[in-house]
Amino acid sequence: MLHAVDESVTPIHIHDMTVAYHKKPVLWDVDLAVPEGKLVGVVGPNGAGKSTMIKAIMDLVPKASGWVHIYGKPYSRMRQVIGYVPQRESVDWDFPINALDVVLMGRYGHIGWVRRPDKIDRELAEEALEKVGMTDFGHRQINQLSGGQQQRVFLARALAQDAQIYLMDEPFAGVDAATERAIIDILMDLRARKKTMLVVHHDLHTVNQYFDWLVLINMRIVAAGETKDVFTDDNLNKTYGGRLTVLSEAAQAVAHHQRGL
């Protein structure tokens, strides 16, 4: 799938990227060019490498091969362009911090080392909390928030990053209906403002409704493109069906040799 890609206007361009954990490949030869201003769903079974792809884009996990460009440049030079919503379980919610201070972390990338957040940063953080409907909870200890509220805080933190591209790892996981509605409204609003979003998602029922672009993934890209073209029974079978076990068997074989079995 080699197209001529105009890199300077392509938010995320992944070329021949392979990611391995302890030499065991979890993502093979990913080629992907995400167009600007789209709300993109990343869908696939458990262990398909959805989170890994998001993390590899941000250099959070090492790539075995290939590269990622953000508007034509490596991630390390484009940090401020990207906002990140990690999985909610990835942090300790008993940490002694309140919601506003978590949201304020979204400003750290702009503030730079050593300098303190100033009044404008605080205002932006409070604005972000307001957008997710959490104004009254800013000074609440984060362990006193419900799961949905915690997810909103994470989203607010990404909004405070004031980015062009948002990478979101399962923002709808384990949230109540009202929160899901609130989150999707914000994503639609971001899209209206020409932001690009890559959203790991697991609920197939809402794919058509939420995303205008779709990446189906199972250890490799099965299909990527406009949702109406990609979200087909045939592609879903390829993503969730049995034929792909060849790749997982190959990964297992590599792992076995690693352990000398």
Partner 1 sequence: MDEFWGPFWIVLTGALAGASCGLLGAYLVLRKMSLLGDALSHAVLPGIVIAFLLSGSRDVIPMFIGAAICGVIATVLIETFHRRWRVQEDSSIGITFTALFALGVVLITAFAGQVDLDQECVLYGEIAYTPWDRLFWGEWDLGPRPVWILGTVFALNLALVLVFYKEFLIASFDAEMALSVGVSAALVHYVLMGAVSVTTVAAFESVGAILVVAMLIVPGASAYLWSDRLKVILTLSALMGVVSAIAGYFLAGVWNSSIAGAMVVVMGALFALSLIFAPHYGLLGRFVRQIRLSLRVARDHVLLKLLRERESQRVSALSWGDLVDTAARWVSGIAIRLLIWQGLITRKNGHFSLGEQGVIHATRLLRNHRLWESYLNQLGLPPDHVHDPADALEHFTDDHLREEIRAALPNIATDPQGKRIPDG
Q: Which stretch binds partner 1 (CB under 8 A): 40-48, 97-105, 124-132, 188-196?
A: 97-105
Cβ nearer to partner 1, comparing 173 with 247: 173
- 91 binds partner 1, rule: CB under 8 A: yes
**Does residue 109 bind partner 1 (CB under 8 A)?**
yes
10 Å CB burial of residue 37 (0-12, 13-18, 19+) is middle
Of 31, 108, 130, 247, which lies in the binding site for partner 1, with binding defined by CB under 8 A? Answer: 108
Starting at the edge strand that comes first in sequence, how are the strands of the sheet with 24-34 ordered? 24-34, 12-21, 63-70
- Under the binding rule (CB under 8 A), the answer on residue 178 touching partner 1 is no
Give the 3-state secondary structure of residue 253. helix
Tell me whether residue 87 or residue 248 sits nearer to partner 1 (CB atom). 87
Distance CA 35, CA 55 (A): 19
Residue 164's nearest CA partner among 62, 105, 78, 223 is: 78
Stretch that binds partner 1, among 29-37, 54-62, 128-136, 242-250 (CB under 8 A): 54-62
Among 95, 120, 174, 228, binds partner 1 (CB under 8 A): 95
Span 4-33, contacts to partner 1 by CB under 8 A = 22
Q: Does 105 sit near partner 1 (CB under 8 A)?
A: yes
Specify the stretch interacting with partner 1 by CB under 8 A; choose among 11-19, 91-99, 217-225, 241-249: 91-99
Read off the amino acid at residue 92.
D
DSSP string, 43-101: E--TTSSHHHHHHHHTTSS-EEEEEEEETTB-GGG-GGGEEEE--GGGS-TTSS-BHHH
Comparison of 102 and 216: residue with beta carbon closer to partner 1: 102
In the complex, the smallest distance separating the C-beta of residue 91 from partner 1, rounded to whole angstroms, is 5
* 247: helix, strand or coil: helix
Joined tokens for residue 239: 């993503």
Candidates 3, 8, 113, 242; binder of partner 1 (CB under 8 A) is 113
Q: Do strands 165-169 and 221-226 pair parallel, antiparallel, or not at all (unpaired)?
A: unpaired
* 196: DSSP letter: E
**Radius of gyration over alpha carbons of the chain, in Å?**
19
Q: Which of 38, 55, 69, 195 binds partner 1 (CB under 8 A)?
A: 55
114 binds partner 1 per the rule CB under 8 A:
yes
- The residues that touch partner 1, with contacts defined as CB under 8 A, are 22, 55, 58-60, 76, 79, 82, 84, 86, 90-92, 95-98, 101-102, 105, 108-109, 111, 113-114, 116-117, 141, 143, 157, 161
